[in-house]
Amino acid sequence: MKILVTGGAGYIGSVLCRMLIEKGFDVICLDRFFFGFDSIEEIRDKIKIVKEDIRWFNPNILKDIDAVRAWLHCQTIQAESLIHKKH
């Protein structure tokens, strides 16, 4: 089953992506990647990565969008992220 995680490279989203992979889901990680790819480096070859901004994202660009059964929204801009993470 395909699950799309927005903000999938973030603190919460990257943990969620890992958990979903362990449960056997096909994971699509949609992220603007404001803070890079480090958080998903270990699972990069196990997920589909979509580098997009959710604000202007057109789902129809995904060929497999009809197969996505759930969207889990974890994208955000947090002050803490901006302070602690390198840009």
Q: Which residues bind ligand NAD (CB under 6 A)?
A: 6-7, 9-13, 31-35, 53-55, 74-78, 81
Rounded Cα distance, 60 and 34, in Å: 23
Task: Output 25 or 37, the one with its CB closest to ligand NAD.
Answer: 37
For residues 24 and 79, which CB has a smaller minimum distance to ligand NAD in the complex? 79
To the nearest 10°, report the CA torsion of 79, 43, 25, 63: 80
C-beta closer to ligand NAD: residue 25 or 35: 35
